Amino acid sequence: MNPFKFTHDVRKARIPDHSLCASLTWCAGINAFLFIFFSIIFPGTAMAERYIDIPSSELISVSLKAPAGPLRMGEVPIFTGTITNRSTKSLKGLVVYLSLVSLQPGHEHPVDLEDWSAQKAIRIASLTPGQESDHEWKMRLIKAGPFGAALTIVDPESNQPKISPLAIFSIAPKPTVISGRILPVIIGMPLFLAGLFLVLYRTRR
Amino acid sequence: MSVLATIAKKECREDVFTVRGMGLYLAAALVLSGFGLLLVGNTELSLLDNAQAVYMMAGIILALAGLIAVVRGSDGFAGERDRETLEAVLVTPVSGDGLAFGKLGAIIVSWVLLYLLAIPYIWAVGSSGQNLTSSLLYLFISGTALMIIFGSLMLSLSIKMKSFKGVMSAGLVLLLFAAVPVALGPSLRQSAVGRILDWLNPFAVSMNMLDAVIVDSQSAPGQQFLSLLVLSGYVVIAAWILWKSSRRIEL
């Protein structure tokens, strides 16, 4: 028995003959024709028309309001975002997320919200025409300095995200751990105990 | 009761007013000072909220308390056996359980001294923040419960095992397992398995209770009822184990 016979047969079976090639070419041609035909008749269903042409920025308005009054480190103020549907149709599955940037002159940089806010993004299931939706973002103020926050809205049916104007605010520093109070204790306590230890040691001897 | 007090007094004299006893408190003060120095010197730690800093310090204090319970509990009977002084203790007209609970009383006194030592540190770190009084109250409650639990278990081991080194090693391994929640953040224990393990571990129950009280301001007894109940349950079980073990003390 030839052990390579089976392998040889399989290889042979995989080589397409001329009639198969001709059939495939016909199928591809018919498919291309149908695609062009239906694209002209029903433009909304074509693959190339996945996104709406009108930019989302004209359909949605978004704003973010920073809390009034001075802000200090350690506080957890609430920022209010308002999203309004200005179009004539319902918008579905909107994703709204918060961004924060440090505006320290000469050291401007985006801030990772990991420590600042537990909820960075929300999803709005549906927003009917003219409907306004208010959402609150709690932010724990970790660092002092000037900052700017903004909301970005992503509409799954548009390739144009909408960004709110920057809400600019300043955080005043707060000494969370006061070194002037800690230092006497962290130096004084071991010294006091060491003194007591020494007295005890000498008394026992 | 007077027998218990007499034994506790004797143990306290030996444990506190000796060079070895003072050395333990000096080491504890140095650990707390080291953490305080980190809070002042480290940029990231200095940004911590006061409550968060107090919570971290409370975790260190409970770990130190556990260490003291392991050392004192191991020494309770196995140390006396190694020093060949246990025989003299056993011939006194005191029952085994009286002896064991007297030693447990001395361990609790050690905790009270550590707690008094820690108060200035907690005040220095947390007085400009919130929940300082409730932090101190719940730290005392959880620390006392942990000292009774660890102290009882270590004294029970000390009665049963012959070698001080063996008891000490077992105690340190037990403490290491129990103190893992201090090293792991709460977010790593949010799964169902993590929560079950937390309830099975009195150290984790204490830490979670302190987290709720100090950081989340949930200091009303009703809010911590379940944690207090579970800790009380562990205290009763540990005391029962000590009582059962101390009924027959062998040389």
User: Average pLDDT of B32-51?
Assistant: 76
Query: What would the pLDDT profile of A75-124 be if each residue is shown by its tens digit?
Result: 889 999 999 998 888 989 999 999 999 999 998 999 988 778 777 889 99
What confidence score (pLDDT) does residue A117 get? 78
In one letter, which amino acid is A151?
L
Report which of residues B229 and B40 the model is more confident about: B229
Task: Quickly tell me which residue has 């103190």 as its tokens.
Answer: B179
Of the ranges A64-68, A192-196, B3-7, which one carries the lowest mean pLDDT score?
B3-7
User: Taking residues B97-119, what's their average pLDDT?
Assistant: 92
Please give the mean pLDDT across all residues of chain A: 77
Partner-chain contact A185 B121, CB within 8 Å: yes
Give the integer Cα–Cα distance in Å for A63 and B122.
43
Position B217 pLDDT exceeds 70: yes
Are the C-beta atoms of residues B249 and B159 closer than 8 Å to each other? Answer: yes
Give the residue with greater pLDDT, B7 vs A192. Answer: A192
Residue B154 has pLDDT above 90, yes or no: yes
Nearest C-alpha neighbor of B68 from the set B125, B121, B23: B23
Average pLDDT, chain B: 86
pLDDT mean over B219-246 = 91
Residues A176, B128: C-beta atoms closer than 8 Å: yes
- The answer, yes or no, to whether residue B44 has pLDDT greater than 70, is no
Token pair listed for B175: 């403490």
Q: Where are the beta strands (DSSP E) in A108-197?
A: 109-110, 121-127, 132-138, 145-154, 162-163, 167-172
Record: contact A200-B117, CB cut-off 8 A: no
Encode burial over A149-181: b for 16+ CB neighbours within 10 A, e otherwise: bbbebbbeebebbbebeebebebeeeebbebeb
pLDDT band with cut points at 50, 70 and 90 for residue A4: very low
Asked if A197 lies within 8 A of B30 by C-beta distance, the reply is no
Token pair 């707390």: residue:
B32
Does residue A9 register a pLDDT over 50?
Answer: no
> Is A191 near chain B, with CB under 8 Å?
no
pLDDT confidence tier of residue A30, bands split at 50, 70 and 90: low
Two tokens, residue B30: 């140095």
% of chain A surpassing 90 pLDDT: 35
Q: Give the separation between CA B65 and CA A11, rounded to whole angstroms.
A: 75
Residues 51-80 (A) with a CB less than 8 A from some CB of B:
73-74
Residue A56 banded pLDDT, cuts 50, 70, 90? low
Please report residues of B whose CB lies closer than 8 A to that of A185: 33, 36, 120-121, 123-124
Q: Which chain A positions have a beta carbon within 8 Å of B36's beta carbon? A: 182, 185-186
Continuous segment of H or E residues that includes residue B121: helix B96-126
As a whole number of angstroms, the distance between CA A22 and CA A19 comes to 5
Q: What is the pLDDT of residue A2?
A: 44
Mutate to test the interface with A, among B47, B60, B61, B127 (most CBs of A within 10 A): B47
Structure tokens at B8: 């506790």
pLDDT at A45 over 50: no
Q: Which residues of B touch A201 (CB under 8 A)?
A: 19
CA dist B20 and A197 (Å) reads 9
**How many other β-carbons are positioned within 10 Å of the β-carbon of residue A196?**
13
> What are the Cα distances from residue A52, in Å, to A45, A123, A153, A157?
12, 20, 16, 6
Q: Which range among A14-23, B211-220, B221-230 shows the weakest confidence by mean pLDDT? A: A14-23
Q: 0.80 cut: is pTM over it?
A: no
Which residues in B lie closer than 8 A to residue A200 (C-beta atoms)? 17-19, 22
pLDDT tens digits along B173-199: 998 888 876 666 666 666 777 788 888
A44 pLDDT higher than 50:
no
Q: Give CA–CA dist A192/A198, Å, rounded.
A: 10
Tell me the C-alpha distance between A86 and A84, whole Å: 6
| Binary contact (A197, B32; C-beta < 8 A) | no
Q: Do A177 and B120 touch (CB under 8 A)?
A: no
Beta-strand runs (E) in chain B: none
Candidate from A177, A178, A190 with C-beta closest to B33: A190
Asked if the Cβ–Cβ distance from A201 to B128 is below 8 Å, we say no
Beta strand A109-110 pairing with A162-163 = unpaired
Query: According to the model, what pLDDT value does residue A38 have?
Result: 53
Residue A6 has which token pair? 């089976």
Cβ(A153)–Cβ(A93) under 8 Å?
A: no
Residue A28, CA distances (Å) to A22, A31, A39, B202, B233 in order: 10, 5, 16, 70, 76
Q: Which residues of B touch A194 (CB under 8 A)?
A: 26
Q: Return the pLDDT at A20.
A: 47
Q: Which two tokens stand for residue B132?
A: 């300082």
Question: Complex ipTM, two decimals?
Answer: 0.81
Q: Which chain B residues are Cβ-neighbours of A182 within 8 angstroms?
A: 36, 39-40, 124-125
Which residue from B minimizes the CA distance to A194?
A: B26
- Is A186 near chain B, with CB under 8 Å? yes
For residue B170, pLDDT over 60 is answered with yes
Which letter does DSSP use for residue B214 in this model?
I
Among A70-79, B15-24, B65-74, B83-92, top mean pLDDT goes to B65-74
Map tokens 């008891």 to a residue. Answer: B167
d(CA A194, CA B30): 10
Kindly state the average pLDDT of the residues B23-29. 89
* Nearest by CB: B46 against A177, A185, A200: A177
Closest residue in chain A to residue B32, using alpha carbons only: A186
Cβ separation of B26 and A182 shorter than 8 Å?
A: no
